[in-house]
Structure 1
Amino acid sequence: MNLWPQLFQMLPVAQSVDSQSSKTGADTIIPAGTIGSTPTDSTITMVEWGWPEDPLTWAILLAAGVAITAYVVWLYRRDTTETGLATRIWLTALRLAMFAGLLLIWLNPQERTQESMTRPSRVAIIVDRSLSMRHPAIDASANISASAESEPKATPTQPAVDSTATRSELVKKLLADSPMLEALRQQHEVSVFMFDSTLQGPVVTLPVKPSVTESNASANANTAEATDDKSATPVAWDEILAPKGLETRLGESLSDAVRQLAGRTLSGMLVISDGSNNAGIDLDAARDRALSQKVKLITLGVGGTEPPRNVQVADLQAPTDVQVGDPFDVVAFVTAQGLTGQKVLVELVSSTTEDPAETIVASQEMVVSGDNLPMEAKFPLKAGKTGSTRYTIRAQPVVAQQEINIEDNRQSLTINALDKPTRVLLVAGGPMRDYQFVRNLLFRHKGIDVDVLLQTSATGTSQESDNLLTAFPTTREELYSYDVMIAFDPDWRLIPPESIDLLYDWVFQEAGGLIVIAGDVNTLQVAAVSASTAEQSALGKQLMKLQELYPVILNSYLSDLRFDQEHSQPWPLAFTPEGEAASFLQLTDEATSSQARWKEFAGFYKCYPTSGPKAGATVYSRFSDPRSESAILMASQFFGQGRTFYLGSGEMWRLRSVDDEDYDRFWIKTIREFSQGRLKRGNRRGLLMPETRKIALGQTARIRARLLDAQFQPLSAPSVPLQLIDPSGRPVVPPRSLVADPNRPGEFVGDFRASLAGVYKLSVEIPQSSELLQEEVSVALPKLEDENIRQNVVGLKNLAEGTGGAYFNLNDLNLSAAKTVAVNESGIDRIAALLPNRSEQILIDQRLKTLWDREWVLFVLVGLISAEWLTRKLIKLA
Structure 2
Amino acid sequence: MNRFWQHLLGIEPPSPGAPPPDDVRLDLASLPQGASAVWLALAAVAVAWLVWKLTNWGRKDLTGPQRATLAALRLLTLAALAAMLLEPVLVLVRREETPSRLAVILDDSESMRFSDPYTDAAKAAAIAGKLGVEAKDGKSAVDRLRESPRLALAQKALGTNLEALAKGRELRIYDLDSAAKPGGGDAARSRKLDDVQPKRPVSPIGDALAGVLSSLRGQPVAGIVIATDGRSNAGEDPARVVEAAARQRIPIYAVAAGADEGPRNVRLAELQVDPVVFARDPTTVAVVVDSRGLRDAEANVVLERRVNEGAWEPVGTQRVALGEDGVLTRATFRVTPAVIGQYEYRAKVEDAGPELTEDDNQATATSRVVRRQIRVLMVAGGPSPEMQFLRNALMRDQQVEFAGWLQHADPGFRQPGDRPITRLPANDEELGRYDALLLVDPDVRSMGPQWPEMILNFVGRDGGGLIFVAGELFSQQLFEAADSKTPGGDWTKILPIVRDAGLFRTDAEVRLSSQNTYTLDLTPEGRGDPVFEFNPDPIRNRAMLTSLPGMYWSFPVTRARPGAVVLSRHGDPRMSNQHGRHVLLASQLYGPGRTVFIGFDSTYRWRYLGEDFFDGFWARLVDRVGRNKALGGRFPFLVGLDKGVYRVGDRVHASVRYNDPAALAEASELVAELEGAGQPPEPIRFEKSPDDPALATAEFPATQAGAYSLRVAPASAPDLAAGTARVSTTAFRVEPPRREIDEPALNRPLLADLARLSGGRVFELSDVDQLDAAIPTREVARTIEERDELWDAPLLYGLVVAGLTAEWILRKRFRLV
Could you tell me the TM-score, scaled by structure 1's length?
A: 0.42
Could you tell me the TM-score, scaled by structure 2's length?
A: 0.45
